[in-house]
Structure 1
Amino acid sequence: MTDVTDPHQHPGSTRVRLIETAERLFAERGIHAVSLREIAAAAGQRNTSAVAYHFGDKRGLVTAVYAHRLGPTNEGQLRRLAALDAEGRGTELRGLVEVFVRPMADRLARAAPGRSTPPAPPSYFLRFVAQALYVEDIAPYDLAAETWTRALHDLYTRIDTCLAELPGPVRADRWRVFVGLTLHTLADHERALQHGAARPGLRTDLLVANLVDAAVAVLTAPISPATSAVLGRPWPPTPA
């Protein structure tokens, strides 16, 4: 979680202004369409090399955006996982999917217009992730490598165990489809909330409940004969 006693991470610091400006511009226009000079200028920095000074390059800046937002989310997910474990539900697939989905949905609820006093700034993070996720070698694919993706790594491991009866390649594809479905659905809702095309409250709650249902269905869908044919073997395996 961001430590506001650290002057480099204080909400008013130059570093944080650059991170949050980059997040917005990347979300609106894409990672490759925005230059580091544009980000510095939009953040009110006269020195156009300010981004390079703080982050080195665009990859370093993208990583900083992830860390800035996923730090608090990681802590919340770890608390939810601990609560699931305390309830004896730490290997329940639906509970694990909710731990993945709901902290991101909570971010939208807090940032939705009219939901807080004083008004919270708009959320751009999910649209940023939707833009950054598929940029080669720029997203945090190694979930075990960073402290701020510990919860995601734990969730991946637990969900993969829940699907242990499926073939490895199918499990890997199901995880990617699950992540893409979740992020793109919530990113679209983030946009709709900001532009008044959707309202917070019940509509968001229904979307999240439906999304959890759909994600569990995606992860646990039976393997069809067509997929078995691609795998080159019947599924489930024929008993010896």
Structure 2
Amino acid sequence: MGRTVAPQEIKQRLILTALHLFSEQGIAAVSLRTVNRAVGQKNTSAAHYHFGDKTGLVDAVISFIQDWFTAQREAPLTAIEVAASVGPILTEDVLRVWALPYIELMKTEEWGYAAIRLIAHLQFEQESTGREAHSRVAMDALRRLNTLMEQSVPDIPPMLTRHRFALCVNSIVQNLANAGARLDNDRDVNSKQLDSLLELYLEVNSAGLKAPTTIKKGSAIYKRLGAIPSLL
């Protein structure tokens, strides 16, 4: 007689399976039926039972990823907020708080690369369910990071800093998604390569965030930028 699988284990399998399928095919192309089949559930309504509908499943997948990021990022994020309350902070340090969990995710979790690919999909995918879910669950951390980034470059107009940071976020995620496809089978090799990529990303993107600008608050260009929705 086979082992009885607990409902919570089935739910976890559904989330991880959906994560991989969404990362490979995009959210719009994957149905609940597809997820049920991939998990090997004889009960074709398992996903409906656990998540209600596809939106519920997408929310669960995004929350699963974001919960991991929150657990990794909360302590260093709080620490740099404390530091910012008493003195200047470095742009590189703020960017590292955001970026380092992505590197650690790819090093430590079997589903890490799939999560990076999914987030990369969400940045540009026309289907809005996943993008809206990601914005919702990641909003608090991004708000706090944006505030810190603005404090780290006080001479740059805040709205310009937000746009620059959004460009950094999107660039790094897309680059990691591409880099992940070329990772070696050796975890030790991958770890060193990812560490080197992190330092490169921090160097290049920090320079862009701190670069002097001729765009002044209240200028025509500044006002036009204000009409562009945030990329985050």
1:160 paired to 2:146: no
Query: Larger helix proportion, structure 1 or 2?
Result: 2
Give, as a single letter, the amino acid of the residue that structure 2 aligns with 1:103. Answer: P
For the residues of structure 1 that align with 2:157 and 2:56, how far apart are their CA atoms?
Answer: 36
What's the CA shift string for 1:129-171, capped at 9, x where partnerless?
Answer: 111233425325786x54x754333212211333443335423
What's the CA shift string for 1:165-185, capped at 9, x where partnerless?
Answer: 333542332122011012111
Asked if the contact 2:36–2:46 (Cα under 8 Å) also holds between the matched residues in 1, the reply is yes
1:138 paired to 2:130: yes
How far residue 30 of structure 1 moved from its aligned partner, in angstroms, is 1.2
CA distance 1:93–1:180, shift in 2 (3 Å): same
Asked if the contact 2:165–2:209 (Cα under 8 Å) also holds between the matched residues in 1, the reply is yes
Of structures 1 and 2, the one scoring higher in RCO (CA 8 A, sep 6+) is 2
Q: Out of 53, 59, 62, which is 1:57 matched to? A: 53
TM-score by length of 2: 0.76
Asked if the contact 1:90–1:96 (Cα under 8 Å) also holds between the matched residues in 2, the reply is no
Name the counterpart of 1:230: 221
CA distance 1:187–1:104, shift in 2 (3 Å): same
| Identical columns (%) | 27
Name the counterpart of 2:172: 182
Would you say how many aligned residue pairs link Structure 1 and Structure 2? Answer: 212
What's the CA shift string for 1:168-218, capped at 9, x where partnerless?
Answer: 54233212201101211122222222778x941322211110011122123
What's the CA shift string for 1:1-33, capped at 9, x where partnerless?
Answer: xxxxxx76x5xx111111100110111111112
CA distance 1:35–1:90, shift in 2 (3 Å): farther
Question: Map of 1:84-103 to 2, 5 A cutoff?
Answer: 84=80, 91-103=89-101
Unmatched tracts of structure 1, length 5 or more: 1-6, 112-119, 234-240
